[in-house]
Chain A
Amino acid sequence: MKIFKLIFKNALRHKLRTTLTILGISIAVIAFGLLRTVVSAWYVGVDAASANRLITRQAVSFIFPLPLSYKDKIEKIPGVTDVSYANWFGGVYKDKNQFFSRMAVDPETYFDVVPEFVVPSQELENFKKERNSCIIGADIAKLYKLKVGDQMSLEGDIYPGTWDFVIAGIYQPKFKTTDAMQMLFHWDYVNERMKVEMPGRENQVGWYVVQVGDPSKSAQISSQIDALFKNSPDETKTETERAFTQGFISAYGSIITSMNVMSWAIVGIILLVLGNTMVMAARERTREYAVLKTLGFSAKHIVGLIFGESMFISFLGGGIGLLLTFPIVAGFSQVIPKGIFPVFEIETITVVLSVGAALLIGVLASIFPIQRALGTKIVDGFRFVG
């Protein structure tokens, strides 16, 4: 027999209690993993942001448009290699609960500044030629079983009316973090109708996408762009795409912070659950520890027994929880609308944190029982009545 066998037998002495503790740890690790995955999913857009893209928007708020005429001026700034623009369209496709981004873009330039949207060249050519055509992300095509040539009809809200489009192409995401849930169509198509139906709203763009040759000059170029329009009716705010996306996320800052806090609160709860089990186990075995000490087992052996049992339970619970987290997160990613979280999967850091949390919990939960077992004199241990 080895000490490990005794640890194992001790851990399984109260099968129901140990099973419930392991189950509790597993569920907590699943909840921890799920929450961390949600938090990291929020930041996928930030991670996916290109280093050489700037976003120029209205200085007061993103909801106010900018004049189309700014494009030519921005293009002339040294270091700017390309400029495109887009409008947030909104609208509803079939079911208003199924969200995905719908944007009016400049067909000539947009796919040059967003090369991570990979469109077959023929489809891109067809898109550029047909004013009422659109390009959709592969995930939209998969979700709605759409193919090139199919029609899509949107019910507008920001731009009222019914808007019909023909799918000219389907883009594939270049990277895992690339959003494949966007619908892009001609800015001109929207602008022409605005001219007729809502005069005063024509020739306006939501934001400019500015490509720069050297990302290290982003700050300098941003300042130059904003200086260009200073004291004009439509002052601009230019920032990196990363900062721009981060700005969106910060609007949900309190929710994300809550999730972060909750995920660590769960770790605290697991600690209490295992701590309670270990304290009870050590208390029940006070006499046995006295026997072991009497037989010559030293402090390190007692520490090993309690620590080993604590680690055994925490790792078993943590391991089961972590293994179950993968299929559960995969299940959630099927249910969560793709437009909200384009990428919803467990990151390596979440796995590392879960394992680390299990390790930390195992260590912390054993401290008090170890202290108690070592602090109890042999003679007091024999007198102990549990």
Chain B
Amino acid sequence: MSEIIQIKNVSKSYWRNSLEIPVLHNITLGVEEGEFLALMGPSGSGKTTLLNLIAGIDRPSRGELSVAGTDIAKLGESALAKWRSSNVGFVFQFYNLLPVLTAYENVELPLLLTKLSKSEKKKHVEAALNIVGLGDRMKHYPKQLSGGQEQRVAIARAIVTDPVILVADEPTGDLDKNSAQEILTLMERLNKEFKKTIVMVTHDQHAAERASRLLHLDKGDLSANGKG
């Protein structure tokens, strides 16, 4: 299988006043299409930064970064935004649903940027919510849902545009054990049944074990571990 994510000698530093804070050092990584990759590491190791680079919401300081055939480091802001909307689905630790919108409307959000007709949008949203098992909660607001259900809505929002890759940052970090298992099972299903490439950052060893490959980041350096 071909590599859908190609990272070559990527470094990332942040600047605080005039002080350079290196976060990632010379990372080289390839992720194959349909792979389920878990990134683990202690706090501050750079795993979320690496995820953000892959997702195109941050830019590398140095190196080459190609995702789904696009050199995203070279895209301008609006081109990058457009690229994200059609290529990447996001799952966050704290769900990040808009509280004023229903589950249906939250899932529909990414489709507002498409030219789909109203009925097509409806079909997509209902399909996404049915995949995550919340077909009967469409009119519920986030505050009317449990944490696990909110995360499932967030996953539905992430897959509604049928993106090439899914990035998940601690998707079970805010959930109880049972809900976490449900989310992980759902992600496994998305990977195996719907062939989605998934890159997941997690602190949880049990969550990481669901992935097909596990990598460790420590102080900005990447090392393989266990699976893969």
Q: Is B101 an interface residue (CB 8 A)?
A: yes
Of A47-55, A105-113, A150-158, A289-297, the stretch lying at the interface with chain B is A289-297
Q: Is B81 an interface residue (CB 8 A)?
A: yes
Contact of A295 among B52, B77, B85, B105 (CB under 8 A): B85
Assembled-state Cα–Cα distance A13/B101 (Å): 10
Assembled-state Cα–Cα distance A246/B96 (Å): 64
Closest A residue to B83 using CB positions:
A296
Chain B residues positioned under 8 Å from A293 (CB to CB): 57, 81
How many CB-defined contacts (below 8 Å) exist between A and B?
61
Chain A residues positioned under 8 Å from B110 (CB to CB): 295-296
**Residue interface bits A273-296, CB-to-B below 8 A is 1, else 0:** 000000000000001100111111
Q: Is A3 an interface residue (CB 8 A)?
A: yes
Q: Is A9 an interface residue (CB 8 A)?
A: yes
Residues 47 to 62 of chain B near chain A (Cβ within 8 Å): 52, 55, 57-58
B78 touches A294 (CB 8 A): no
A291 touches B84 (CB 8 A): no
Q: How many residues of A contact B (CB 8 A)?
A: 24
Q: Is B86 an interface residue (CB 8 A)?
A: yes
Closest A residue to B86 using CB positions:
A296
Contact of A291 among B55, B77, B96 (CB under 8 A): B96
Assembled-state Cα–Cα distance A12/B77 (Å): 31
Within the complex, the shortest CB–CB distance from A297 to chain B, in Å, comes to 7
Chain B residues positioned under 8 Å from A291 (CB to CB): 92, 96, 98
Closest A residue to B105 using CB positions:
A1
Q: Is A378 an interface residue (CB 8 A)?
A: yes
Q: Is B35 an interface residue (CB 8 A)?
A: no
Given A288-B98, A378-B58, the answer on whether A297 and B105 have CB atoms closer than 8 Å is no
Chain B residues positioned under 8 Å from A203 (CB to CB): none
Q: Is B112 an interface residue (CB 8 A)?
A: yes
What 5 A-B pairs come out closest when comparing CB atoms? A296-B85, A9-B100, A378-B57, A291-B96, A298-B81
Instruction: Spell out A's residues near B (CB within 8 Å).
Output: 1-3, 5-6, 9-10, 12-13, 287-288, 291-299, 377-379, 382
